[in-house]
Amino acid sequence: MIRPIRAELRGSSARTIAVLLFVVAGLFTAGMVRTWWHQWLMFGYVEASLMFLVVPLALAGGTTLGRREKRTRAAELMASTGRPLWQRVTPVMSALGVAVAAAHLLLVGVCAALIGATGGWLGAAGFPSVLVDTALLVGAVWAGFALGRRWSSALLPPALAAAALAAQYAASAAHQPTPLVNLSLMVQFQQFPWEGPTAAAELGRLALAAGLIVGGALLASAASWRRHGAAAAALAAGVAGLLLIPPPTDSRRYQIEPSAQALTCAAGIPQVCVTAVHAYALPGIVPQARRALAALAKLPNAPTRAAEFQPPAVGDGSSDQFQGNAPRTDPSTVRFLLQPDWRTGADPHLADDIAFGAGTRWNGCAQDDEAARAAAGAWLLGTDELHVFDGTFDYWASVGHQATAILRTLRKQPEQEQLRRVTALRDAANRCAKELTPILTGQPREAS
């Protein structure tokens, strides 16, 4: 068996198909480098979404190879040989599967090496999705191969690719969140880079992969109608698995990977910690974080440690998801959200984020009265402006005017009074108080 497989690898279009899939997937992966640079789990999202385009192409590629016997009219000679059909198709299907899997794993390997070499986190959590997608590609080429053997029209490859693409597109455009939405292999991206796909999401895709693999193998070796029926049943089961196993809404697609969210800390005091997926950025941000900690240390009972905010739940895209009425304060630790540049990992506004509201931005409270919080932060850092972002929106653009006025009022006070007011603001913010401006500007203190 090994000699025919090697002959097929040399002389059939299996290698061409694998190279084509590699190039297409590679181009798209390269185009989305900003998303996955340094980030292994984000790469998993990119690669899973690529399947939307690559699986139809794989179907078409498999079909061109399947038509080979009828197109070259070698079927006549093959029909006079004795081996049963399943043995006859095994070398070419093995060669095809090996070539396509190798190409995909090569792409993943290259990107994983890039991520690892630049200091990104590479955990076990990202590997199942890679393997599932590889199986999906193998299933797609096998299913295409089987269909090409059955119908050897030249129009079948593009028609099959177009149909697969159109079906996914139509599914993704469905109005309600029905299970049909899962038919589209393009997935929503995760809000935070420590979120990985849940088992249900992966199992759905794995079901489709298994259905394609089994269905393709059965159909390619089918000499009887029973086998045809079994192949159709396997494929239907796979599609059903894809539609029904994962939840129909993208937001439940992800879960927090503990090892990705675990903190790693820099040496020295005060301690500065980031999540494992941002470890590459740690050396760059330590000076800023320590500068902010030193600014916070002006207040009594200041935190002695800065750590990246570790959300307790999967992000849903709303800006006030982790802000409610119940403070989650640990007085010794101030939290911050790192928004590193995709390439350098630098976050020039980290100190501002830590100083905002005198170290209360990520204490679990709703961030009302941003003007006062910004003023307090600017006072601590000794600057006149404070730039804190919600995504790409800079709060200073909307509250800067007000904050500047509050800051001017505050700075007119004697030193001790300024210190007392800012401390009071911090303590009030830690109790989820709503009105913070009166504390800084000297209006009657709110009883809360």
The vertex-344 CA angle with 274 and 50, nearest 5°, equals: 90
Nearest approach in angstroms of CB 409 to another protein is 45
Q: Which of 32, 57, 58, 380 binds another protein (CB under 8 A)?
A: 57
Restricted to residues 90-109, the positions that interact with another protein (CB under 8 A) are 91
Q: Closer to another protein at the Cβ: 48 or 292?
A: 48
Q: Which of 32, 41, 42, 53 binds another protein (CB under 8 A)?
A: 53
Strands 305-308 and 254-256: unpaired
Token pair belonging to 87: 């043995």
How many residues of this chain bind another protein (CB under 8 A)?
Answer: 46
In whole angstroms, the minimum distance from the beta carbon of 7 to another protein comes to 4
Angle at which helices 2-11 and 14-31 cross, to 10°: 60
Of 399, 403, 398, 393, nearest to 319 by C-alpha is 393
Q: Are 20 and 61 in contact (CB under 8 A)?
A: yes
Q: How many CB atoms lie within 10 A of CB 235?
A: 22
By the rule CB under 8 A, 81 interacts with another protein:
yes
The string over 241-251, giving b where at least 16 C-beta atoms fall within 10 Å of a residue's C-beta and e elsewhere, is bbbebbbeebe
The residue count for the chain: 448
- Nearer Cβ to another protein (69/133): 69
10 binds another protein (CB under 8 A): yes
Q: Which stretch binds another protein (CB under 8 A): 53-61, 242-250, 310-318, 357-365?
A: 53-61
382 near another protein, rule: CB under 8 A: no
144-163 footprint of another protein as x/- string (CB under 8 A): ----------xx--xx-xx-
Nearer to another protein, 53 or 115 (CB): 53
CA distance 188 to 198: 13
Does residue 307 sit in helix, strand or coil? strand
Rounded least distance, CB 179 to another protein, Å: 18
The conformation of residue 194, written as its DSSP 8-state character, comes to T
Q: Which is nearer to another protein, 73 or 267 (CB)?
A: 73
7 binds another protein per the rule CB under 8 A = yes
Contact at 8 Å (CB) between 156 and 66? no
What gap in Å lies between CA 132 and CA 48, rounded to an integer?
9
Q: Are the beta carbons of 372 and 425 closer than 8 angstroms?
A: yes
- Residue 30 binds another protein, judged by CB under 8 A: no
Q: Is 223 exposed, middle or buried (0-12, 13-18, 19+ CB in 10 A)?
A: exposed
* Distance from C-alpha of 282 to C-alpha of 276, rounded to nearest angstrom: 10
Between 8 and 257, whose beta carbon lies closer to another protein?
8
CB of 142 to another protein, least distance (A): 19
Q: Which is nearer to another protein, 161 or 351 (by Cβ)? A: 161
Amino acid at 212: L
Q: What element of type H or E holds 134?
A: helix 127-150
Smallest gap, in angstroms, from Cβ of residue 411 to another protein?
45
CA nearest 213: which of 103, 75, 55, 48? 55
**Residue 79 in contact with another protein, rule: CB under 8 A:** yes
Q: Which is nearer to another protein, 150 or 349 (CB)?
A: 150
Q: With respect to another protein, which residue has the nearer C-beta, 16 or 249?
A: 16
Name the one residue in this structure whose structure tokens are 């994962």. 246
Q: Per rule CB under 8 A, is residue 3 in the interface with another protein? A: yes
Stretch that binds another protein, among 50-58, 227-235, 277-285, 295-303 (CB under 8 A): 50-58
Q: In the complex, what is the shortest distance from the CB of residue 181 to another protein, in angstroms, rounded to a whole number? A: 15
Q: From CA 149, how far away is CA 384, in angstroms rounded?
A: 73
Interaction between residue 71 and another protein (CB under 8 A): yes
Residue 320 engages another protein in binding (rule: CB under 8 A):
no
Cα distance between residue 318 and residue 332, in whole Å: 28
CB of 165 to another protein, least distance (A): 6
Q: What is the DSSP letter of 249?
A: S
Give bridge partners of residue 39 from the DSSP assignment. Answer: 121
Check residue 11 for interaction with another protein (CB under 8 A).
Answer: yes
Between residues 168 and 261, which has the closer beta carbon with respect to another protein?
168
Query: C-beta of 223: minimal distance to another protein in Å?
Result: 9
Contact footprint for another protein (CB under 8 A): 1, 3-4, 7, 10-13, 20, 24, 52-53, 57, 60, 64, 68-84, 88, 91, 154-155, 158-159, 161-162, 165-166, 169-170, 173, 186
